[in-house]
Amino acid sequence: MFTRITLFLMTNIAILAVLSISMRVLGIDQMLAADGIGINLTGLLIMAAVIGFAGSFISLAISKWMAKRSMGVQLIEQPANSRERWLVETVRRQAERARIGMPEVGIFDSAQPNAFATGMNRNNALVAVSTGLLQSMTQDEVEAVLGHEISHVANGDMITMGLIQGVLNTFVIFISRVIGTFVDRVIFKNERGFGIGYFVVSIIAELILGVFAAMIAAWFSRHREFRADAGGAELAGKQKMIASLQRLQQYQQEQSDMPGELAAFGISGGLKHGIAALLMTHPPLEARIAALKNS
């Protein structure tokens, strides 16, 4: 994981450096200064990166704690019955096959069949299933769902999505501040500090750009779901994985009952239509089933 984080951070630092150099070579810095805007683009890029990645990493660092609190997850520390023993042993067996540390295992109260995995470290994660999932699925189907979530952990999806979100946050903050400053200085003719035009336009631009960033993050998330399905099929069996997704089709609904940051790591992400489909964290179940059948 350390190597993955290091390479990803180095790549994005390089991107920021290239952007900064390109803006100087193309004369954008000079052009803005000549128009009286005078933005320190390099400094703004660094500030945006610090803010963008800090928020993403803080969210990732407290993800397990937030999941336990927001979903009321009851950890299985000492299995109280055969079902809990089976859950823990299945997760342990799959974790060993995936070569990751044993995750914490928990159950949360929800009538909706669902499950999720979270945590900053692939060797210190949390896998939780809903009471609705345990009641509505067979043991083979639950095993496949657990395999799907273990695959998320093994693939490092939590840290990868956190890093992607950090990059998106950086560019949203940077571009919205540039637009706000341009409007404030050129249109509102403000020559000192930052006026009302800067704050209003920056906020509006950040909201609009934030929607586009969310669409990009959702696209990455949907791609990642296919990989987790393939991993679940490898750990539990292809037919079991297909059967679990077919079972979820019977309970598919418009909205997931999990918070947004957890819904992205659930087995089922709800159902959306129209433009809202671009914000779906999960591909349609039909597409996931077809992908498995054709693999």
The closest of 168, 170, 178, 169 to 29, measured between CA atoms, is: 178
d(CA 93, CA 91): 5
Which residues, at least 6 apart from 94, have a Cβ–Cβ distance to it below 8 Å? 146, 147, 150, 235, 236
Whether 84 is a known active-site residue: answer no
Encoding tokens for residue 62? 């407290």
d(CA 55, CA 61): 10
d(CA 205, CA 51): 17
Q: Strand 74-75 to strand 124-130: parallel, antiparallel, or no bridges (unpaired)?
A: unpaired
d(CA 93, CA 271): 32
Whether 94 and 246 have beta carbons less than 8 Å apart is answered as no
The closest of 150, 82, 83 to 115, measured between CA atoms, is: 150
Encoding tokens for residue 190? 């403000």
Residues 61/160/260/59 CA torsion (nearest 10 deg)? 20
Catalytic residue among 141, 149, 206, 261: 149
What number of helices (H) and strands (E) belong to the chain? 12, 4
Catalytic residues: 149
